[in-house]
Chain A
Amino acid sequence: EVQLVESGGGLVQPGGSLRLSCAASGFTCSDHYMDWVRQVPGKGLEWVGRTRNKANSYTTEYAASVKGRFIISRDDSKNSLYLQMNSLKTEDTALYYCARVIYSSGWVAFDIWGQGTMVTVSS
Chain B
Amino acid sequence: DIQLTQSPSFLSASVGDRVTITCRASQGISSYLAWYQQKPGKAPKLLIYTASTLQSGVPSRFSGSGSGTEFVLTISSLQPEDSATYYCQQVNSYPLTFGGGTKVEIK
Q: Which of B43, B50, B98 makes the CB contact (< 8 A) with A113?
A: B43
Q: How far is the CB of A108 from chain B (nearest CB, A)?
A: 5
A45 contacts which chain B residues (CB < 8 A)? 36, 38, 44, 87, 89, 98, 101
B44 contacts which chain A residues (CB < 8 A)? 45, 97, 110, 113
A50 contacts which chain B residues (CB < 8 A)? 94, 96
- The residue on B at minimum CB distance from A111 is B46
Q: How far is the CB of A41 from chain B (nearest CB, A)?
A: 10
Q: How far is the CB of A113 from chain B (nearest CB, A)?
A: 4
With an 8 A cutoff between CB atoms, is B78 at the interface? no
With an 8 A cutoff between CB atoms, is B7 at the interface? no
Count, chain A residues at interface, CB 8 A: 24
- The residue on A at minimum CB distance from B85 is A44
Evaluate whether A109 and B43 lie within 8 angstroms (CB atoms) in the complex, with A46-B98, A47-B97, A104-B50 already known.
Answer: no
Alpha-carbon separation in the docked complex, A108 to B95 (Å): 14
Alpha-carbon separation in the docked complex, A97 to B101 (Å): 17
With an 8 A cutoff between CB atoms, is B71 at the interface? no
The answer to whether B91 touches A108 (Cβ under 8 A) is: yes
Q: In residues 64-95 of chain B, which contact A (Cβ within 8 Å)?
A: 87, 89, 91, 94-95
A interface residues (Cβ-Cβ under 8 A, vs B): 35, 44-47, 50, 61-64, 97, 102, 104-111, 113-116
